[in-house]
Chain A
Amino acid sequence: MVIDKIRKINKSDESTEKNVKASDMLVGKWVKCDNCKEILYKEEVHNNFSVCPNCGKHFRISARRRIHQIIDEGTFIETNENMTTKNPLNFEGYEKKIEALKEKTQINEAVKTGFGKINGEDVVIAVMDGNFMMGSMGSVVGEKITCAIEDAIEKKLPIIIFCVSGGARMQEGLISLMQMAKTSEALAKLNEAGLLYVSVLTDPTTGGVTASFASLGDIILAEPNALIGFAGPRVIEQTVKQKLPEGFQRAEFLLEHGFIDKIVERKDMKETLYKILKLHKKGETKNV
Chain B
Amino acid sequence: MSNNLSAWDRVLLARKADRPKALDYIEYIFNDFMELHGDRLYGDDKSIVGGIAYLEDMPVTVIGEQKGKTTKENMERNFGMPEPEGYRKALRLMKQAAKFGRPIITFIDTPGAYPGMGAEERGQGEAIARSMMEMSRLKVPIIAVVIGEGSSGGALAICVADKIIMLENAVYSILSPEGFASILYKDSSKSKEAAEHMKITSYDLKKLNIIDEIVKEPDNGAQEDFEKVAEDLKKSIIKDLKKLLKENPDNLIEERYEKYRKIGRDL
Interface residues of A, Cβ cutoff 8 Å to B: 83-86, 88-89, 91-92, 138-140, 142-143, 146, 168, 170-182, 184-189, 191-192, 207-208, 210-216, 229-231, 235-236, 239-240, 244, 248-249, 257-259
In the complex, which residues of chain A have a beta carbon less than 8 angstroms from the beta carbon of B128? 180, 211-212, 230
Known: A179-B264, A215-B130, A230-B128. A208 touches B153 (CB 8 A): yes
Contacts of A213 in B (CB 8 A): 129
Q: Name the CB-closest residue of B to A141.
A: B264
> B117 on the interface (CB 8 Å rule)?
yes
Interface residues as binary, B113-134 with A (CB distance below 8 Å gives 1, 0 otherwise): 1111101111111101110111
Q: B69 at interface (Cβ–Cβ under 8 A)? A: no
Since A180-B153, A181-B132 are in contact, a sample of 6 more A-B pairs with Cβ atoms closer than 8 Å, ordered by chain A residue number, is: A139-B267, A168-B174, A174-B198, A174-B208, A212-B128, A257-B121
How distant is the Cα of A92 from the Cα of B260 in the complex, in angstroms?
A: 26
Answer yes or no: B261 CB below 8 A from chain A CBs: yes
* A181-B160, A216-B129, A257-B123 known; A85-B267 Cβ under 8 A: yes
Q: How far is the CA of A174 from the CA of B260 in the complex (A)?
A: 12
Least CB distance from A109 to B in Å reads 10
- Verify if B172 is at the interface (C-beta below 8 Å from A): yes
Residues of B within 8 A of A189 (CB): 257
- Chain B's nearest CB lies how many Å from the CB of A98? 13
Q: Is the CB of A175 within 8 A of B260?
A: no
Query: Which residues from A are CB-within-8-Å of B264?
Result: 88, 138-140, 142-143, 172, 175, 178-179, 182
Task: Please give the residue numbers on chain B whose beta carbons come within 8 Å of chain A beta carbons, in ascending order.
Answer: 113-117, 119-126, 128-130, 132-134, 136-137, 152-153, 156-157, 159-160, 172-175, 180, 183-184, 197-200, 205, 208, 210, 256-257, 260-261, 263-267
A184 touches B267 (CB 8 A): no
Shortest beta-carbon distance from B121 to chain A in Å = 5
8 Å CB contact of A236 from B120, B200, B205, B267 = B120
CB pair B263 A236 closer than 8 Å = no
Chain B residue numbers with a CB within 8 Å of A83 are: 267
On whether the beta carbons of A173 and B200 are closer than 8 Å, the reply is yes
Is A182's CB under 8 angstroms from B260's CB?
yes
A187 to chain B: which residues have CB within 8 Å? 133
Residues of A within 8 A of B123 (CB): 215, 257-259
Given A182-B260, A211-B125, also A230-B137 (CB < 8 A):
no
In the bound assembly, the distance between CA atoms of A173 and B177 in angstroms comes to 11
Q: Which residue of B has the minimal Cβ distance to A94?
A: B184
Contact check, B267 vs A259: say whether CB atoms are below 8 A apart: no
B13 CB to closest chain A CB (Å) equals 19
Q: Which B residues are CB-close (under 8 A) to A249?
A: 120
20 sample A-B contacts, Cβ–Cβ < 8 Å, listed by A number: A84-B267, A86-B266, A92-B197, A140-B264, A140-B267, A171-B184, A173-B173, A174-B173, A174-B210, A177-B153, A177-B156, A178-B264, A181-B136, A184-B133, A185-B260, A188-B137, A210-B129, A211-B113, A211-B126, A211-B153
Quick one: which of B113, B197, B261, B263 contacts A230, CB cutoff 8 A?
A: B113
Q: Which residues of A contact B205 (CB under 8 A)?
A: 174
A residues less than 8 Å from B156 (CB atoms): 177-178, 180-181
* Pick from B126, B134, B197: contact of A259, CB under 8 Å: B126
Q: With A173-B200, A178-B210, A211-B128 known to touch, is A185 a contact of B266 (CB < 8 Å)? A: no
Name the residue on B nearest A84 (C-beta).
Answer: B267
Docked pose: A258 CA to B24 CA in angstroms: 38
- Could you tell me the distance between the alpha carbons of A139 and B174 in the complex, rounded to whole angstroms? 13
User: Are the C-beta atoms of A91 and B116 separated by less than 8 Å?
Assistant: no
Residues on B with beta carbons closer than 8 Å to the beta carbon of A208: 152-153
Question: What is the distance, in angstroms, from A259's C-beta to the closest C-beta of chain B?
Answer: 5
Q: How far is the CA of A89 from the CA of B199 in the complex (A)?
A: 7
A139 to B262, CA, bound (A): 10
A237–B197 alpha-carbon span in the complex (Å): 28
User: Cα distance A139–B137 when bound, in Å?
Assistant: 22
Residue of A nearest to B172 (CB): A174
Tell me whether A230 and B115 are in contact (CB under 8 A): yes
